Amino acid sequence: MSAIAAVEAQFRARRRARMLANLGYGGVLLLCLLISARVSEAYPGALAAGLPRVGEYFHKLLPALQWQHLLDGPKAEGSIAYWFYRLDSWSWLLFETSQMALLATLGGAVLAFALCFPAAANLAPNRLTYVCFRRLLELFRTVPDIVYALILVWAFGVGPLAGIMAIALHTVGALGKLFAEVVENADMRPWEGVRAAGGNWAQGVRYAILPQVVPNFLSYVLLRFEINVRGATVIGFVGAGGIGQELYQVISSNIYDEIGAIIVLIVLVVAVIDLLSEQLRTLATGKMAA
């Protein structure tokens, strides 16, 4: 009985120590949250005062649809067609936004593909090369794409080119890091076999590493494309083209019906792109794995 009692006492002591440690961690976390709220001025009173105004603003975005005119033409007030009376121009801007994201994703993925192998710890020729390429990828992704857009709009003027380049630069850093981590998790036995047979570094990458990592690379590229579609909308606010530029103009002019219509169209387009990308990613990775 004494041995059992001793074990139970040790168990209770460990549990008590664990509970005290958890309470200590929780207290530190709570203190950090309170300090963060204090520094960022996230006061409960400010939140309580602002939330009703947010609801009021979103209420203004709702159109005055009328059931009896719901399916009438674009000249009938209260119809869906009247709400989306500029659908032709908005559709073109949404297409432009998606193409910006597509070109930026492809360009960024190509450069990220070239940089990821020397940025992988298991393939870098030496420590200095690894550190330099890792820091280079960090530089690309640390700067937000909207900051790139502000700089490039100043350099190249207002339009989609600045947006494409801004998104592509940020994509290089984001995809480069993900690609490098995939490479670092690759099985190195094929690599050692190629090198032992006399293959050089590039041949080892081509025949030993690429067959393992391409499915994951493709999955990340498609995921990044979905993210870049949203990003292309945001950077339009600084004059980088696409539907975001139009959205910024109607927000600045307080044209609430058009704001609501554009937001609905953006949500629908992004949802469709997400669904198509998910299906394509599943299909492509499944075939490659097989």
- Mean pLDDT value across residues 221-227: 88
pLDDT classification of 286: cutoffs 50, 70, 90:
low
What's the pLDDT at 44?
79
Cα–Cα distances (Å) from 285 to 177, 217, 219, 240, 280, in that order, read: 20, 10, 7, 33, 8
pLDDT digits (tens, 9 = 90+) for 148-202: 988 988 888 888 888 899 999 999 999 999 999 999 999 999 998 988 888 888 8
Tokens of 264: 């609905």
User: Looking at domain 86-289, which CATH architecture does it have?
Assistant: Orthogonal Bundle (1.10)
Task: Give first-to-last CA distance, the chain, whole Å.
Answer: 60
Please state, in angstroms and rounded to a whole number, the distance separating the CA atoms of residues 93 and 168. 19
**Is the Cα torsion angle 161, 164, 170, 172 positive or negative in sign?**
negative
pTM here? 0.78
Among 239, 269, 249, smallest CA distance to 99 is for 269
Does residue 273 have a pLDDT over 70?
yes
Tokens of 82: 């009247």
% of residues, the chain, pLDDT over 70:
97
Identify the residue with better confidence: 217 or 7.
Answer: 217
What's the pLDDT at 215?
84
Coil/strand/helix, residue 13: helix
pLDDT classification of 9: cutoffs 50, 70, 90:
confident
- Mean pLDDT value across residues 40-45: 78
- Mean pLDDT value across residues 125-148: 91
Among 268, 263, 267, smallest CA distance to 61 is for 263
What's the pLDDT at 67?
81
